[in-house]
């Protein structure tokens, strides 16, 4: 019933971006009430389900987290922690505030649980986000925070290296891991680094800075679903041969529906993102962490992504369109599957 009302409100009454703004304002408002965060935890957080895991040296309460672009400026860290997410990827963080493109810029695709995003990754900029994470409350103690670094829309490609490094250095001591967005910003589509040289020129300065730090922060690269096999192999080789810690696959697709002129996310992306994650996991023999993202609309999608080889799963369009309950439902299904698997295993061990 609740889901029907949510879907009705979001899908039929409000455009996609307004629905998200209202949704996040409501979550923030509830969280600010005296027992609001407790209420969020009681109604939305999975309970008595143990899905803990260790990935790239960090402990996660659950493998399910929030992808970049849902809480770009880190406004809802307390509330998302109360809701029980294992991690939140803030960003894309860029050095200076950028408003994004003019509205309407996020559309629903008719007859499909998908969005077309042309927002250009609006951001309040580094200083604002820094202030949010510096002042993160005790409430977010168990929440892992990732910082997604993206390209400032207005900057030239040559400035990109300096800008990524600036965000990385400033955020380094305040977040747990980094995701370097090497897919496109939807407003500056020309600057997608695809060759080994282009990708290394962006990430090597970050490795260099990290070498001089007392604490280690994992660095992942977030890739486009539009890479061809050769380009995908290039980034996998970089993962194997350099100190890169993992890959996040995938961002929105610009090529899946070229006639739509924007990045496709949601249901239309599900099969492609799972296929790419499976390919990376097979080629790396499951030895490197992968964050699976793209079209995780239903609990079944989350389970399939983890089965394909993802260590963690990041949600965006699924939360926007289907609500935060997706976390609780997915956790229940994961727990049911894993207890069925372990009882099957016990039975076969007993038989043997
Ligand atoms: C409205 C919107 C804004 C997004 N903003 C960002 C962003 O700032 N940085 C980024 O790396 N990805 C961004 N993404 C991509 C998502 O994080 C995610 O990788 C992609 O949408 C596929 O997952 P999904 O189908 O669950 O949305 C955004 C996606 C949407 C729909």
Q: What is the mean pLDDT of residues 79-108?
A: 96
User: Which CATH number goes with the domain that contains 199?
Assistant: 3.20.20.70
- Alpha helices, DSSP H only, in 190-310? 196-211, 229-241, 270-283, 299-308
In this prediction, residue 9 carries a pLDDT of 66
CA–CA separation, 290 vs 282, rounded Å? 11
Q: Which residue has the higher pLDDT, 138 or 145?
A: 145
70, 92 Cβ separation under 8 angstroms: no
In this prediction, residue 8 carries a pLDDT of 67
In this prediction, residue 6 carries a pLDDT of 65
Mean pLDDT taken over the chain? 93
Please identify which residue in the block is written with the tokens 């992942």: 220
Q: How many domains does the chain have?
A: 1
> Lowest-pLDDT range, 107-116, 126-135, 162-171, 274-283?
107-116
> Lowest-pLDDT range, 63-72, 169-178, 181-190?
181-190
Q: What is the mean pLDDT of residues 195-199?
A: 95
Q: Which atom of ligand 1 has the smallest separation from the CA of 269?
A: 25
Per-residue pLDDT band at 1 (split at 50, 70, 90): very low
Per-residue pLDDT band at 157 (split at 50, 70, 90): confident
Tell me: pLDDT of 12 over 80. no
In this prediction, residue 301 carries a pLDDT of 98
In this prediction, residue 286 carries a pLDDT of 97
Residue nearest atom 10 of ligand 1, based on CA coordinates: 68
CA–CA separation, 94 vs 318, rounded Å? 25
Q: What is the mean pLDDT of residues 112-116?
A: 94
Per-residue pLDDT band at 231 (split at 50, 70, 90): very high
Residue nearest atom 14 of ligand 1, based on CA coordinates: 69
Query: Which residues in the chain belong to E strands, given as ranges?
Result: 53-55, 58-60, 64-66, 87-93, 106-109, 114-117, 144-149, 177-181, 219-223, 246-249, 263-266, 290-293, 312-315
Tell me: pLDDT of 2 over 60. no
The phi and psi torsions of 241 (rounded to 5 degrees) equal -100, -10
Q: Which atom of ligand 1 has the smallest separation from the CA of 183?
A: 11
Q: For a substitution probing ligand 1, which of 10, 20, 21, 68 has the most ligand atoms within 8 Å of its CB? A: 68
Name the percent of the chain lying above pLDDT 90.
83
In this structure, the residues whose C-beta lies within 6 A of any atom of ligand 1 are: 67-69, 72, 91-92, 106, 115, 117, 119, 121, 148, 150, 181, 222, 251-252, 265-266, 269, 293-296, 315-318
283, 228 Cβ separation under 8 angstroms: no
Q: Which atom of ligand 1 has the smallest separation from the CA of 297?
A: 26
Report the SS3 class of residue 275.
helix
In this prediction, residue 308 carries a pLDDT of 98
User: Six-digit token pair at 143?
Assistant: 């929440």
In this prediction, residue 86 carries a pLDDT of 97
In this prediction, residue 273 carries a pLDDT of 98
Q: Which domain holds residue 294?
A: 2-351
38, 84 Cβ separation under 8 angstroms: no
């Amino acid at each position: 019933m609740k889901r029907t009302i949510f879907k009705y409100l979001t899908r039929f009454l409000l455009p996609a971006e307004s629905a998200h703004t209202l949704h996040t304002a409501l979550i923030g408002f509830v969280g600010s009430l005296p027992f609001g965060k407790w209420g969020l935890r009681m109604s939305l957080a999975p309970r008595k389900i143990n899905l803990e895991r260790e990935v790239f040296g960090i402990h996660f309460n659950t493998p399910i987290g929030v992808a970049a672009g849902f809480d770009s400026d880190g406004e809802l860290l307390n509330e998302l922690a109360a809701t029980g997410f294992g991690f939140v990827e803030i960003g894309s963080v860029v050095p200076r505030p950028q408003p994004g493109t003019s509205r309407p810029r996020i559309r629903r695709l008719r007859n499909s649980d998908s969005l077309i995003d042309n927002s250009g990754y609006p951001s309040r900029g580094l200083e604002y986000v820094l202030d949010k994470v510096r002042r993160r409350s005790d409430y977010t103690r168990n929440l892992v925070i990732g910082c997604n670094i993206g390209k400032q829309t207005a900057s030239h490609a040559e400035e990109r290296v300096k800008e990524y490094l600036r965000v990385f250095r400033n955020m380094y001591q305040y977040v747990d891991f980094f995701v370097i967005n090497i897919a496109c910003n939807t407003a500056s589509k020309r600057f997608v680094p695809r060759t080994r040289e282009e990708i290394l020129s962006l990430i090597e300065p970050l490795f260099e800075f990290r070498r001089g730090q007392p604490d280690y922060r994992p660095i992942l690269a977030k890739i486009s679903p539009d890479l061809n096999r050769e380009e995908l192999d290039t980034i996998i080789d970089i993962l194997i041969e350099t100190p890169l810690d993992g890959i996040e696959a995938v961002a929105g697709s610009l090529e899946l529906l070229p006639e739509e002129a924007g990045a496709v996310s949601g249901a239309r992306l599900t099969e492609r993102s799972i296929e790419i994650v499976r390919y990376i996991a097979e080629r790396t023999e499951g030895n490197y962490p992968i964050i699976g993202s793209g079209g995780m609309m239903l609990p079944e999608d989350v389970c399939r992504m983890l089965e394909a080889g993802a260590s963690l799963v990041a949600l965006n369009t699924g939360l926007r369109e289907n609500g935060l309950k997706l976390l609780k439902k997915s956790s229940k299904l994961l727990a049911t599957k894993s207890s069925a698997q372990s009882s099957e295993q016990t039975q076969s061990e007993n038989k043997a």
